[in-house]
Chains A and B, each alone.
Chain A
């Protein structure tokens, strides 16, 4: 049984949420849902405190540390997002921007490109499921790049109508 974290920025009563949970659980996964819609996590302010002053700990005390721990605890993370301007919604972008404490400020070169040295010995697996209009090809490309920076593996980007696709990848 795999442990899956579902980070959800859709309203809790959105039908997509239960559909995605059901699809993930049908593959014998244990799903922990993190409802972020009401949380209103603040944007990353680029202060570098998590790199230079309190390494690994964000300066903003708004409960995001619970998510940092949950990313580490689970076998895979699925981001469930609405869309805006052909992309993920603003809440989701803020959540992903805030993942910076998972890497250090140190740099190493991987496959000819600079990367931040991961803070933890953890192979992250991130996937994206979105509800709304977006450019699927681009979102797949973006997820690849995002996961690369955390030394992880992308599970891909899927419209909510194709949630079984992400279940199959986990």
Chain B
């Protein structure tokens, strides 16, 4: 077997929002009447009695394609290979102590290929563990890598969830997925690819003032709501994020979580001059991503080590 790398480097450090498939309209299977009747849909300001929790934890992951290449087997067939580094971590923001600390940071590296007998590559901190890809197509390698990252994020979330106390809030960047059993946990979706609401309700979303949220709606085993983060007024969807939680809790608890998120998350919104993805890219998550990217290592060094390993 012969492994060779493409000489063109891959892009570096794009954080990945793990979203399902293409933009789609899923308004059909949504129950909009969890909190309000359809006719009563309006922007809701969280009540004054709800105060942000002292401790909020955020979970996020980053990945980077270090090199793409080809694995040639004995028969002479070439199979695409992807070497990538990915990391997931938790940042715990304790407003009482005024400390935001990265409580866990997991870094892994993977060598993805469809060949069953591909071996791990490299040594020491730059060891790429062989993973079997689902299909022998270059595009699918990226998708499989995303799944690996989601699995790592799940691991980090569980670590954070295990150490959390009752009144802590855990915010997961992206969809909840298999984390529905964690209590006080919400998924935080910053880009809206799918539409879940009827046109009348969409109007409520796009005209919502800052700090308000929509009524809670339910779909696919989740409660969800939209809220608007503070930021410059611009397009109708500026500053809009969707937040979701598991439907294993009562509807009333989901509504409380919705209020809680509406008073908590605006405090973490980023500023446009500091972050091009403001305000949706929350400050702790941006900081965590920077730290995780630092832990991924220098991409040029990793490429060099990969090339050296097959020489």
A and B interact: no
Name A's B-contacting residues (CB within 8 A).
none
Name B's A-contacting residues (CB within 8 A).
none
